[in-house]
Amino acid sequence: MSTSNVAVNEAGNDLFRKEVNTLCLDYLLMETIPLSLRVTKTLSDSSKGVPTQGIRQLKIDPKKPEEEDLLFRSGGIDILLDDTAIQDENSIFRIESYGYEIGTKLADCLIYMKSDGNLQISQPLDIMKFICRDVWKLLYSKQMDNLRTNHSGTFVLIDHNFRLISNMASPLGDPDTLKRASLYLWFPCGIIRGILFSLGLEASVHAEITQFPSVSFNIQTNQS
Amino acid sequence: MSKSLKTLSDDLWKNRVEKVNSELFTLTYGSLVAQLCRDLNYNYAEVNAHLEKMGYNIGLRLVEEFFAQTNLGRCQTFRETAEVVAKVGFRMFLNVVPQVVGVDEKQFSLVLDENPLAEFVELPDDGKAFKELWYSNVLVGVLKGALEMVQLEVNAFFVSDVLRGDDTTELKVKLVQVLKDEIPVGED
């Protein structure tokens, strides 16, 4: 996003003038998923009385790296290989809620940023367009490819090459890639739900991989 | 040396790097930390550990981009590493250049005058966060991860943070050992 199309607000402060590398945001968003799996694991461990990482560091004789559990091994993607962790409803819920949290805040920031007078968001369809264009552009460097609606509260947003998962491949073949990639989809679902909520629309959002890496997001709003 | 590093990173930042608003990045990181604090029940030692772990994974990958873009050779000394981390690494990813202080062959400190992660941030006033939470701890992980990929095992930690009321934000990096190139099993 270049500075030229960013509305500089009248107060003359330097909001929205600074920039960082897109990769920082990319990797941050991507790491959210392993992070939430680790958090879920930590929480379930601590409820079972297993010493947590913070406490473990205090020990005089820390375990050797190879003995350490999946949780904190270097590289850190090992946790994604843990089938129980990725199918755990708690993890799914947590990933979704991280997305939701970020979504609600992003909506405020984006709208303030775009508020140059001709941004009108009142109808659900406008909100969907806002997500397809502005939000997606920001988070995944491209717009949604397709937006469909039945005009009674259901919307389908399609991204033919979803950036979060497009580079994924499992050594165990496509079915396995699909299985693990679908976990990541809960995150953008949360973001969409958060944005809709902060614009006054309650909805439930589901995503499915139609043909890898094409993803369709089904949004069911409670308005008709 | 330092002159050419500056030209190099100026050029990188201007022409080779895709950019995004830093406010949106700050916001995303902020809501992540906030959520993490809530989820882990304000156990800040735990929050620090999770942030660091996340940073480690990010660092492992950022270094790839660093290589792809910079074409810089191997650093001869740890001193040089410090310069490159500050002037090229930080510059190309966060567009800030921390000051390098207290540098010798075993350690250096990065003083962040500007910290894109922590802009507009206030720590919660619960009597604990000011003492225990290192808000930008993800950077610690990033440095560890990235330097490990260039065979430098380091220990990194924050020693002060303006968010806690300190005068500066200082991140200390200590060299533990230079790792040897290892050939993977079965590939001799």
Domain count, chain B: 1
Residue in the structure block whose two tokens are 């439930």: A204
Per the structure, the complete domain to which residue A90 belongs is given by 3-221
CB A219, CB A203: distance < 8 Å: yes
Query: Is the previous residue joined to A65 through a cis bond, with omega within 30 degrees of 0?
Result: no
Query: Is A72's CB within 8 Å of B53's CB?
Result: yes
pLDDT tier for residue B163 given thresholds of 50, 70 and 90: very high
Instruction: State pLDDT tens for residues A134-151.
Output: 889 888 888 999 999 988
CATH of the domain at A187: 3.30.1380.20
Element housing B79 (H / E): helix B78-84
Tens of pLDDT, residue by residue over B53-88, are: 999 989 988 999 999 988 888 888 999 999 999 999
> Each residue's pLDDT tens digit in chain A (224 positions)?
333 334 444 444 456 678 888 889 888 988 888 888 888 888 887 777 655 555 554 444 444 443 444 444 444 556 666 666 667 788 888 889 999 999 998 888 888 877 766 667 778 888 899 899 888 988 888 899 999 998 888 999 999 998 888 888 878 888 888 888 888 899 999 999 999 999 888 999 999 998 888 999 999 998 65
Are the beta carbons of B28 and A106 closer than 8 angstroms?
yes
User: Taking CB atoms and an 8 Å limit, are B18 and A21 in contact across chains?
Assistant: yes
On the question of pLDDT at B108 being above 70, the answer is yes
Which of A8, A40, A3, A7 is closest to A19 using CA atoms? A3
Counting the structural domains of chain A, the total is 1
To the nearest 10°, report the CA torsion of A64, B46, B116, A7: 130
A109/B92 CB distance under 8 A: no
Distance from CA of B60 to the nearest CA of A (A): 8
Q: Name the more confident of B137 and A88.
A: B137
What is the C-alpha to C-alpha distance for residues B148 and A76, in angstroms, rounded to an integer? 14
Number of Cβ atoms within 10 Å of the Cβ of A9: 13
Residues of B in contact with A141 (CB under 8 A): 18
Placement of tokens 């022409």 in the chain: B15
User: Is residue A19 within 8 angstroms of chain B, CB to CB?
Assistant: yes
| Residue B149 falls inside a structural domain | yes
Q: What are phi and psi of B120, to 5 degrees?
A: 60, 15
Q: Are A213 and A122 in contact (CB under 8 A)?
A: no
Domain assignment present for B188: no
pLDDT at B1 (0 to 100): 55
Asked if residue B186 is part of any domain, the answer here is no
- Which residues partner with A203 through β-bridges? A221
Amino acid at position A76, single letter = G
The residue of chain B with its CA nearest to that of A36 is: B36
The crossing angle, in degrees rounded to 10, of helices A89-114 and A186-198 is: 50
B37 part of a folded domain: yes
A34 at B interface, C-beta within 8 A: yes
ipTM of the complex: 0.88
Residue B9 lies in a domain: yes
pTM (2 decimals)?
0.83
pLDDT in the model for residue A90: 83
Q: For position B176, which CATH number holds?
A: 3.30.1380.20
- Alpha carbon of A90: minimum distance to chain B alpha carbons (Å): 12
Q: Is the predicted pLDDT of residue B128 greater than 80, yes or no?
A: yes
B151–A contact, CB cutoff 8 A: no
Rounded CA separation B47/A39 (Å): 9
Picking from B32, B46, B95, the nearest residue to A19 by CB comes out as B95
